[in-house]
Amino acid sequence: MVHYTIAMPEPHSHLFHVTVEADGFATPYVDLILPGWTPGSYLIREFARHVEQFQADDGSGAPLEWRKVAKDTWRVLIGAAGRFTARYHVYANELTVRTSHLDGSHGYFNGANVFMYVDGRSAEPQTLTITPFDGWHISTGLRPGDTAHSFVAADYDELVDCPVECGTQRVLEFAVDGIPHYLAIWGYGNEDEARLIADTRRIVEVQRDFFGGLPYDSYTFILHLTDGRGGGLEHRNSVTNAVDRWTFRPERSYERYLGLTSHELFHVWNVKRLRPETLGPFNYRAENYTRLLWVMEGVTSYYDDLLLVRAGLLSPERFMQKLADEIVSLQSQPGRHRQSLEQSSFDAWIKFYRPDENSANTSISYYLKGSLVCLMLDMAIRKHSDGERSLDDLLRYLFNQYPFAGSGIPEDGGMLAAIEAIAGERNGFFRAFYERHIAGTAELDYAEALAVVGLEAHWSHRDAQGGATPAWTGLTVKGGDRAIVSHVRSDGPAYRAGIYPDDELLAIDGWRVSGKKLDQRLAEHSVGDQVRLTLFRGDQLIEISLTLAEAPPDKLELVPMSAMNPEQQEAYRDWLGR
């Protein structure tokens, strides 16, 4: 058994004090390794850079020699001692859901940031003792041990899959099916505690109904109310969500909390239990590649708002608006022609968390396109099964087919086999669908899919004046008194004319322009007009001529067909649970 102790005696130092101890070794040395990433966030983050003041002894106080043998590995020479105790500090001053943060108000940590694992001993039980700062209490999904502030985990994976909040956080509680749920809130804002409990409970209930039960003995929502930060990171029986402290009003803003909560809770089933075969057991030192992140995140993104509709927490009309906005967003990205969902999933480690000014031209999000492909797939299954099956059935089939203790969804052919098991082979329809829209980059046919539930897609332009199509440059500038180019679409005239991100646009046809006035000035022109742009590229003043093109549609409304047939009406009601 490996035992950890973590303390925070001086919160203002931002230093967690960590101890690791274990015995029973017959080898002359033991390696302690700190992960380079944390599950659910697919980027190597090099947590070892925050470790300092490492030292080791034989458990009786006699110092042991040690040395670094890799960027993430501390080798302790234990000789004949057969045991060791290692002590080190971890600097924690990064407030995100995937990192750790300690200051005078609280101590929050993800285990992968702070706990070195003992090489060769990560599969055995791990215990943890937390020494909180005076007056602070502990919120975590870890199972309590036999003594105060002690916790147990079946293995290292479980230990680091339970973040910990220490402080003076408020703890709200509710139960679903007799299972306790805790809402630990750090910070204050414009939240309504009673509504938070009621709506969060409703989200739990509708997802329980979807999968047929809750797969945990308790659940902890850690909620950070911050100044503008946001995000969520899922765990087996807990989550950390971060939202702006003023998120809870007005209603449109509150939707962000509901959507985030729904999304991260859905991961209890989809990714924490149902997973690709390559995501577990984890290799914490290197990338864990999979082409199925579109299933883990795209499916979850498809259902997060849809289940809010079924829960009665989001109106169908608002859901259609949000769905339309997602379609517009994907269609505005030229990268949809260049990167497939499988490629986006595989390259998450080098692309998704490191976007740049060219990302929209070369890549897509497996969250966004994954969600829309799931919409297409859901509608196709409904159509080809005459309304007898849906994506709901596919998810439940996968969850039962690939249990937590199993090997996970096979990378090669696993998802297609599951789709055909639910919807049927259909003369190769779903194989072709998979090759075109998941392994390939074919354009999505929204009209055909939406017709299954009796909806039509009406495209238009937000800034159309007098019915005329707006003129378009294909560039985006940062608003303000200066017009700094932030993005240049590869399918637009500005790209072809040779305008770069970070160019500063000064004038159009010799007249000064600002970021705030650019759209107004362009509205004075028509499609086909040639304009002369004056700009700074670094310190060089240059001029570029550009022919304005027809703007692509950027407004979409999803509306019911004027004459929905009974099959469409039934499919619509079944889809939205109304």
pLDDT tens for the 578 residues of the chain, in order: 999 999 999 999 999 999 999 999 999 999 999 999 999 999 999 999 999 999 999 999 999 999 999 999 999 999 999 999 999 999 999 999 999 999 999 999 999 999 999 999 999 999 999 999 999 999 999 999 999 999 999 999 999 999 999 999 999 999 999 999 999 999 999 999 999 999 999 999 999 999 999 999 999 999 999 998 899 999 999 999 999 999 999 999 999 999 999 999 999 999 999 999 999 899 999 999 999 999 999 999 999 999 999 999 999 999 999 999 999 999 999 999 999 999 999 999 999 999 999 999 999 999 999 999 999 999 999 999 999 999 999 999 999 999 999 999 999 999 999 999 999 988 999 999 999 999 999 999 999 999 999 999 999 998 777 668 899 999 999 878 899 999 999 999 999 999 999 999 999 999 999 988 888 888 899 999 999 999 999 999 999 999 999 999 999 999 999 999 999 999 999 999 97
Instruction: For residue 568, tell me if it sits in a domain.
Output: yes
Domain identity same for 563 and 546: no
Asked if residue 278 belongs to a domain, the reply is no
CATH classification of the domain holding 206: 1.10.390.10
Taking a C-beta distance cutoff of 8 angstroms, is the pair 242, 204 a contact?
A: no
Residues 526 and 432 in one domain: no
Last residue within a domain, chosen from 167, 187, 221: 167
Q: Based on the domain organization, do 299 and 387 belong to the same domain?
A: yes
Residue 281 lies in a domain: no
Pairing of strands 238-244, 219-226: parallel
- CA 321, CA 91: separation in Å to the nearest integer? 44
Judgement on whether residues 44 and 143 belong to the same structural domain of the protein:
yes
Beta strands in 492-529 (DSSP E): 504-508, 511-512
Say if pTM beats, i.e. exceeds, 0.85: yes
Q: Let me know whether 335 and 411 are in one domain.
A: yes
375: nearest Cα among 270, 294, 449: 449
| CA distances, 216 to each of 110, 172, 308, 544 (Å) | 20, 18, 21, 62
Q: What total of structural domains would you count in the chain?
A: 4
Range of the domain at 564: 293-460+558-576
